[in-house]
Amino acid sequence: MKIAVVDGHSTGRALVSALRARGSVCVHVQSSPQMAEFFTRGFRADDFEVLLDGSGDLVPLARQLAGLGVDRVVAGTESGVMIADTLSHLMELPGNRYETLAARRDKKLMAETAAAAGVAVPRGTEVADADEAAVWFAASGLTAAVVKPLNSAGTDNVRFCGTEEEVRDACKSVLASDNLFGQPNATVLVQERVHGVEYYANTVSHDGVHRFAELWRYTKRTGSGGRPVYDYEEPVPVGSAEAAVLRGFVTETLDALGVVSGAAHTEVMMTERGPVLIESGARLGGGTAPEVVERYAGTSQTGLLADTLMDPARLASFDEASVKGAGALRNVALINPTAGIVKSLDWTERLRALPTLLHLSHGAVVGQYLPDTTDLINSPGYVFLAAEDPRDIERDYRALRAMEEEGLYTR
């Protein structure tokens, strides 16, 4: 089996490792010659048979991949979604519906497409002018809004706003910047801010059959300037009563957006009026350690996708009831409260000394300027805490946050 991975960065690296462990040969396609270091750090060129440029005409690239004997094309991370689905379409390989391709990246079109299929979404508008956004908010009757780029990821330039002026300022910031993938933000999305408990579902699909590999409950905090900051997330058993409504809702969402074969990461807010779609990405969920998730939650999305790519029958036989969890698990985002220079990496040993710490991932280097954490992109990293008793996890979580308040990363 030979599989092409478009932008095998971030979580895509874990997918490539899983595929190679299962005997696959991998080909790499990079969507752009200039990608943010946030994605490319840790990239291993030796994991691939050949490295190809995906920034040009995809028709000859599809012919080249076919000539190499590529059996499947998948996205490694968000930036590879559209290219992977386009190449799959051109090569007539299993993939997602081509006619809804744009709706899987453009967040306004995503909301419209989902709503047309009866999926609940926040009210919203797309604007190219900050004053127009403020006028819309004033007339909407909303008390709070979310401002975000149409095509980005990782809470890039996402702001919570409660006044016309905050909406105007947030839109100006988005319109004056590029998104996480280096593309100018020509327009901006302003949406109703919905409240409740937020979840995400990591699914794997083949031939229109969807299976839930992971379901997690978010805990976030609001940081400076109204920016959402990831705090931690915990797994929810897929077969639980808590998961029942979410599973049906996510399945309807995937069908509406044309997800047929591949991975998806779907964020949902459970509100008083029921589940509401935040957004969905046709790729693996980020910030994960598959081996840890498999040990404590039964399976991982990365592992299930790799199994399905190698043999689609593995998905049909996958038992979602196996996604239960042994003991307690928490994925904690690291938060730097004070900007400064990273003087050493001694803090990594302090974190590893926490009794429940199983996994630490970070990109900090000595001498680097580390800003205060305002979004997922400038978080120092993340850790997984696990134990039989959830009280042990809570103890170490509080100890970690106390160390951070003392200036853990930059003192």
What is the pLDDT, as a whole number, of residue 333?
A: 96
Q: Range(s) for CATH 3.30.470.20 in the chain? A: 201-405
Q: What is the pLDDT of residues 313-350, one digit of tens each?
A: 999 999 888 777 667 999 999 999 999 999 999 999 99
Query: Between β-strands 124-127 and 2-6, what pairing exists: parallel, antiparallel or unpaired?
Result: unpaired
Helix H segments across 235-389? 241-257, 290-297, 301-310, 313-316, 346-352
3-state helix, strand, coil in the chain (%, to 5): 35, 25, 35
Place of tokens 């003991």: 327
pLDDT digits (tens, 9 = 90+) for 14-27: 999 999 999 999 99
End-to-end CA distance of the chain: 49
pLDDT at residue 222 in the model:
82
**362, 380 Cβ separation under 8 angstroms:** yes
Task: Quickly name the fold that domain 201-405 has.
Answer: D-amino Acid Aminotransferase; Chain A, domain 1 (3.30.470)
- The token pair at 408 is 């853990």
DSSP assignment of 330-380 equals EEEE----S-EE---SHHHHHHHTSTTEEEEEE---TT-EEPPP-SSTTS-
Beta carbons within 10 angstroms of residue 223's beta carbon: 18
125 near 133, Cβ under 8 Å?
A: yes
Check residues 12 and 152 and name the one with the higher pLDDT. Answer: 12
CA-to-CA distance for 263 and 89, rounded, in angstroms?
Answer: 16
Span(s) in the chain for CATH 3.30.1490.20: 123-192
Q: Is the Cβ–Cβ distance between 283 and 81 less than 8 Å?
A: yes
pLDDT confidence of residue 326? 61
Does the pTM surpass 0.75? The reply is yes
pLDDT at 376: 79
- Across the range 254-271, mean pLDDT stands at 98
Helix axes 58-67, 81-91, angle to 10 degrees: 60
Structure tokens at 151: 């095509």
Which residue in the block uniquely carries the two structure tokens 């196996």? 322
Q: What is the pLDDT of residue 91?
A: 98
Largest CA distance in the chain: 58
pLDDT (0 to 100) of residue 325: 64
What are the residue ranges of CATH 3.40.50.720 in the chain? 2-93
The domain covering 123-192 belongs, at the CATH homologous superfamily level, to ATP-grasp fold, A domain (3.30.1490.20)
Check whether 226 has a pLDDT greater than 90.
no
Q: Which CATH number fits domain 2-93: 2.40.50.140, 3.65.10.10, 3.40.50.12780, 3.40.50.720?
A: 3.40.50.720
> Residue 39's pLDDT band (boundaries 50, 70, 90)?
confident
378 vs 181 pLDDT, higher one: 378
H-helix or E-strand containing 172? helix 164-175
Mean pLDDT of the chain, nearest integer: 93
Inform me whether the pLDDT recorded for 99 exceeds 70. Answer: yes
* Percentage above 70 pLDDT, the chain: 99
Mean pLDDT value across residues 238-256: 94
**SS3 of residue 267 by DSSP:** strand
Taking residue 234's Cβ as centre, other Cβ atoms within 10 Å add up to: 18
**Cβ-Cβ contacts under 8 Å for 228 (sequence gap 6 or more):** 155, 158, 160, 220, 221, 222, 375
- φ/ψ of residue 159, rounded to 5: -135, 140
pLDDT at 204 over 80: yes
